[in-house]
Amino acid sequence: MQKFDKLSGIAAPLPLVNIDTDMIIPKQFLKTIKRSGLGVNLFDEMRYDREGNEIADFVLNKPAYREAQILVTGDNFGCGSSREHAPWALADFGIRAIISTSFADIFYNNCFKNGILPIVLPQEQVDVLMSDAEKGANARMEVDLEAQTVTTSDGEVFGFEIDPHRKHCLINGLDDIGLTLEKAAAIDAFEARASAERPWV
């Protein structure tokens, strides 16, 4: 997995609430058996018309935001389906951090498996960052995972909370499965105990 330590990049404002995973990556793109190549279809139905032409006023189609690496969004981002195609599409486009007041649980979890940092901040701070993002390409936002801070282009700094295990894995680009397999003895022991107590399972 791609490591995440520090990021300085363009932030795109997407102030809509309840952006669901169907909007992030519509179902017709779930028929792939690969993880890669979904970036071109990120936000497909908001980004392109039926003929496949770009819709000019969609934020990621504007010249200032085509290279965005950070999204600042409305409440409850990533609600709906568990499809990991959503973070795959975001990562493939180049998004490495997403800032909102809240994220849907499954999506939040999926981000960490794909080198994306979801950052939860209170409404008034998200409002400041949204305004900052609206300044366009000259305003670069900074995210520092080690220090757990977001810095606006004006130098205003906001701290955020993150689970220590997730932070450790993201900073070091660690593979969960490898880490869990180191605990195989504990899983073996649990299985032996459980199959004695609940043999019908």
Partner 1 sequence: MSPKTLYDKIWDAHLAHEAEDGTCLIYIDRHLVHEVTSPQAFEGLRMAGRTVRAPDKTIAVPDHNVPTTEGRENPEAMTEDSRIQVAALDKNATDFGIHYYPVSDVRQGIVHIVGPEQGWTLPGMTVVCGDSHTATHGAFGALAHGIGTSEVEHVLATQTLIQRKAKNMKVEITGKLNPGVTAKDITLSVIGATGTAGGTGYVIEYCGEAIRELSMEGRMTVCNMAIEGGARAGLIAPDEKTFEYIRGRPHAPKAGQWEQAMEWWKTLYSDDDAQWDKVVTIRGEDIAPVVTWGTSPEDVLPITEAVPAPESFKGGKVDAVRRALDYMGLTPGQKLTDIEIDTVFIGSCTNGRIEDLRAAAEVLKGKKVKDGMRAMVVPGSGLVRAQAEEEGLADIFREAGFEWRLAGCSMCLAMNPDQLAPGERCASTSNRNFEGRQGYKGRTHLMSPAMAAAAAVTGHLTDIRDLA
Binding interface with partner 1 (CB under 8 A): 15-18, 20, 22-23, 26-28, 30-35, 45, 50, 74-76, 79-84, 87, 102-106, 109-110, 113-114, 163-165, 176-177, 180-181, 183-184, 186-187, 189-191, 194, 198-201
48 beta partners:
54
Residue 37 near residue 30 (C-beta atoms within 8 A):
no
The C-alpha atoms of residue 137 and residue 13 are separated, in whole angstroms, by 12
The DSSP element (H or E) to which 132 belongs, if any, is helix 123-133
- The alpha carbons of the chain give a radius of gyration, in whole angstroms, of 19
Minimum separation from the CB atom of position 49 to partner 1 (A): 11
The C-alpha atoms of residue 65 and residue 146 are separated, in whole angstroms, by 26
What angle, 0 to 180 degrees and rounded to 10, lies between the N-to-C axes of helices 85-93 and 105-112? Answer: 50
Closest CA to 54 of 68, 72, 66, 67: 66
The residue written with tokens 């017709």 in the block is 28
- What does the DSSP assignment read for 53-83? -B-TTSGGGSGGGTT--EEEE-SSBTBS---
